[in-house]
Structure 1
Amino acid sequence: MPKSPPPQLLAWQVLLGGICALVLTIGLARFAYTPLLPQMQAQAGLGLADGGLLAAINYAGYMSGALLAAWIESPLWRQRLYSWGLPLALLVTALMGWSSSFGAWAVSRYVGGLCGAAGMLLGSGLVQGWLMRAGHRPELGIYFIGLGLGIVVSALGAMGMTRLQLGWAAQWQGFALLGLAFLIPAWRWRPPVPPPPAKAAAGASPSRRWMALMVAAYFCAGWGFVINATFTVAIVEKQPLLAGQGPWAWLLVGLAATPAVFVWDRIARRTGDVGALLIAFGAQIVGVLLPALAGGLAAALAGALLYGATFIGIVSLTLALVGRRSPANPGKAMARLTLSYGVAQISAPALTGRMVEASGSFDAALWLTAAVLAAGMGCLIAVLREPRGS
């Protein structure tokens, strides 16, 4: 008997499956590291500089995945690698708790970065391509709810397991078990293998200068993203009288990020994508500088709130914009842009860890991050002057 065709997926299934994939490949395989970093420092002897180095290794894996995503043309292999990244994300999360060896942690962080690239780049390209083929609006705001939700899951999970007095290793194992709940829908509702890409129409691709400016702006965004993603909890914990409050700041990041995707999509409809990006960059600069300008829990939490509300908009708006400008293979275009994001993600946490150890304060690193974000705004202003710049 001939095989029956696979069941047709609905838009809500594809989007929900993608959201669960992001929680799995980014929220657990990457973001769980942020609330667990102080515990690993206190219980496993992980130094701040080595903590930054592990974050850099994670982003080296992410950049390797971006290189692979930019190189692969085959729709079959893009979908296949995305699928492999889902269960592998669970494995590398569990690996963090199976060993106290820095080498094992480094392997976990590197492979976790590969999984993150699968979820962010291959997954977003597959979902956006499916939405365009199915006649839906090709915005990725709903898809990127998975980033904010992943932060919420990692924060609540760490807080809950800490209340149960579980050690750092047991918490990593707990996150791996929790990931099973997200693996099932992510696997079941994967976007199908897309058809071979059609030849792009003449003039459909963005100009080299436009792409170069977006690459530079996204590098600056990556710098701002990774400093907060790696050290938000540690920044709060380092302040006098705020010990033990760090996970609340990380939870606030996720709570701000989860609904923000809808807001940024609507802002972009009024101001254009680049206009919305300028607003997001400016607000993130304010959030970065708040902990440096004012001590206390209120400033730290306000900075976390602004970071959560803005980084998600920068990522979703940039990737969706570049994907729409490259309809033949949106995932490949996103991956090329993300390579610059990855360079920032490798260099920034390692440099920040050294700066903090040398000075005993995060202030200099936060001012440097604000300056990098301001340079990104300059690149975006130049984009507006390009043909079809908005």
Structure 2
Amino acid sequence: MAAMISLAVAMGVGRFAFTPLFPLMVRDGLLASEAGAMLAASNYLGYLVGAMVAARIKVKAATLLALGLISTVIVTAAVGWTTSVPLWAILRFVAGVMSAWTLVATSAWGLGWLAAQGRPHLAGAIFAGVGLGIAAAGLFCLVTAGPEVSSLGMWIGLGVLAGTATLVPLAVSRSLPAPVVSPGATAPQGTSHKPHSSTGGLIVCYTLFGFGYILPATYLPALARQLVDDPQVFGLAWPLFGTAAALSTVFVAWGLKSVNRLNIWAASHLLMAVGVLLPAIWASLVSVSIAALLVGGTFMVITMIAMQEVRARAEGNTTAVLGRMTAGFAFGQLMGPIASAVIGRFTADFATALNYALALSAAGLLSSAFYLWRELRRHHAY
């Protein structure tokens, strides 16, 4: 429960609160689309830097978790204390750094305890926290959004909500700082038992996943707002996304006893590719809703499966290996808006550029799905 709440705060609020609040900040005249893209890229860059640094920080996972959570709460609330876009960019950068630290630390700490207790099937509950955090942030915006409510006040409100939730993981990580893993308890369910040297291709697939999911994860509410301007309607896209993410990890974790992790990973990339491409070829609230379900229902499954698979293959410092995975993901998601911006220089408008970028993202997801299936067949050949 503590690890689940930790991811809900760090990722659902620290990383993704900007997504439902972005169209509301545009509504309030605080941001233009170009500035919003810059703030998103700043957060992605911070996530990349945080992941790279996390692999080198020589502190206990529980300590890194506490530092990341406390800082996330502070920088989230601080967005509502200013109207300076450059300062927002700095705050979103720091939020990205802290989110990466917390994800790496929570994965090492939480999965370590599950392995020590011989209960790896509960990994789905831990990673469901991201979806729960996304849904909670989306519902908070949906309930509080109104003509008389400032988006700046909503940032502060989210910070207070996150700070309250953070008390649980801070208390538990302090009382249970480090798991004691018994022999034979380190291999999670569904492991393919591949050696440590085989993680390179998986990191590339995880990088393509970061590139593939980030555009819909950033612009789903904005795409919905282009179709209908009522926040009570377009605001539903994000809670739908988060709910799908939360439920999917629990369901998939239950099925890991009978299905190989690489198979689930590859199938998730395929389904996500469909969800990424759908809004580009069919502009409607129905397509945006289906995309929210497909992308939301697979992105945390991929995160959970990938973290478990690489952790099973790691030797020695699992935090460092998970940090490299997160760094690859962060690099991929940073390339998403950059690719969209480059394409935009050769297209007539933002919508056209986004559609081309979505198609490119879907291609990356499909290619990585084929690689994972080939890796699975190679494993069975041995």
Tell me which residue corresponds to 2:306: 318
Give the match for residue 155 of structure 2. 172
Q: How does 1:158-169 map to 2 (within 5 A)?
A: 158-163=141-146, 165-169=148-152
Report what 2:189 is aligned to.
none
Q: 2:46 — aligned with what? A: 61
Match of 1:340 in 2: 328
Indicate how the Cα distance of structure 1 residues 35 and 99 shifts in structure 2: closer, same or farther if over 3 A, else same.
Answer: same
Match of 1:147 in 2: 130
Structure 2 residue 291 is the aligned partner of structure 1 residue 299? no
1:379 equivalenced with 2:371 (yes/no):
yes
1:360 equivalenced with 2:350 (yes/no): yes
Letter in 1 for 2:280: A
Structure 1 letter corresponding to 2:75: V
Cα pair 1:49 1:353 within 8 Å, conserved: no
Taking structure 2 as the reference length, the TM-score comes to 0.89
Q: CA RMSD in A?
A: 2.6
What is the identity, as a one-letter code, of the residue corresponding to 2:126? Y
Percent of aligned pairs sharing the same letter: 27
1:189 counterpart residue number: 172
| Cα distance change on mapping 1:186 and 1:193 into 2, 3 Å | closer
Task: State the number of aligned residues.
Answer: 369
Alignment CA distance shift 1:351-1:50 (3 Å): farther
Residue by residue over 1:99-158, the C-alpha shift from the partner in whole angstroms, topping out at 9 and shown as x without a partner, is 111221111111101221122111111111122223332652110111110111111111
One-letter code aligned to 1:194: A
- Residue range with higher mean Cα deviation, 52-61 or 270-279: 52-61
Query: Would the alpha carbon gap of residues 268 and 91 (structure 1) be closer, same or farther in structure 2, given more than 3 Å must change?
Result: same
* SS of residue paired to 2:120: coil
Report the Cα distance in structure 1 between the residues aligned to 2:208 and 2:6, rounded to whole angstroms: 26
Q: Deviations over 1:264-301 (max 9, x none)?
A: 22343333000011111111111112212222211111
Alignment match, 2:190: none
Alignment match, 1:268: 256
* Cα distance in 1 between the residues matched to 2:378 and 2:34: 41
- Residue 388 of structure 1, CA deviation: 7.2
Quickly say closer, same or farther: Cα 1:155–1:199, change in 2 above 3 A: same
Deviation at 1:214, TM superposition (A): 0.2
Q: 2:220 is matched with which residue: 232, 235, 240?
A: 232
Q: Which runs of 5+ in 2 are unaligned?
A: 187-192
Alignment partner of 2:20 out of 15, 18, 35: 35
Task: From the superposition, tell whether residues 199 and 49 of structure 1 become closer, same or farther in structure 2 (CA, over 3 Å).
Answer: farther
- What SS is found at the alignment partner of 1:190? helix
Residue aligned with 1:347, SS:
helix
Asked if 1:120 is matched to 2:112, the reply is no
State how far apart, in whole Å, the 1-side matches of 2:380 and 2:37 are.
39
What do the CA deviations read for 1:50-89 (whole angstroms, capped 9, x no partner)? Answer: 22221121122112221122123x4x44332221111111
Structure-2 change in CA distance of 1:246 and 1:63 (3 Å): same
What amino acid maps onto 2:115 in structure 1?
M
Task: For 1:108, give the aligned amino acid.
Answer: L
**Are positions 1:47 and 2:32 aligned together?**
yes
Partner of residue 206, structure 1: 195
Equivalent pair of 2:213/2:272 in contact (CA under 8 Å):
no
Aligned amino acid, residue 87 of structure 1: I
- Equivalence for 1:4: none
Instruction: Provide the C-alpha distance between the structure 2 equivalents of 1:247 and 1:355, rounded to a whole number of angstroms.
Output: 28
State the SS of the aligned residue for 1:193. Answer: coil
CA distance in structure 1 between the partners assigned to 2:283 and 2:322 by the alignment: 38
Is residue 141–residue 261 contact of structure 1 (8 Å, CA) maintained in 2?
Answer: yes
Distance in 1 separating the partners of 2:225 and 2:257: 39
Structure 1 unaligned residues grouped into runs of 5+: 1-15
Q: Say if 1:50 and 1:164 are closer, same or farther in 2 by CA, change over 3 A.
A: closer
| Alignment partners' CA distance in 2, 1:354 and 1:105 | 23
**Aligned counterpart in structure 1 of residue 7 of structure 2, from 10, 19, 22:** 22
In structure 2, C-alpha distance between the alignment counterparts of 1:189 and 1:388, rounded to whole Å: 41
- The alpha-carbon deviation at position 180 of structure 1 amounts to 2.4
Structure 1 pair 297–84 and aligned structure 2 pair: CA distance change class (3 A):
same
Structure 1 CA distance for aligned equivalents of residues 89 and 19 of structure 2: 15
* Distance in structure 2 (CA, Å) of the matches to 1:63 and 1:173: 25
The letter of the residue matching 1:17 is A
The code of the aligned residue for 1:61 comes to G
CA distance in 1, matches of 2:240, 2:181: 41
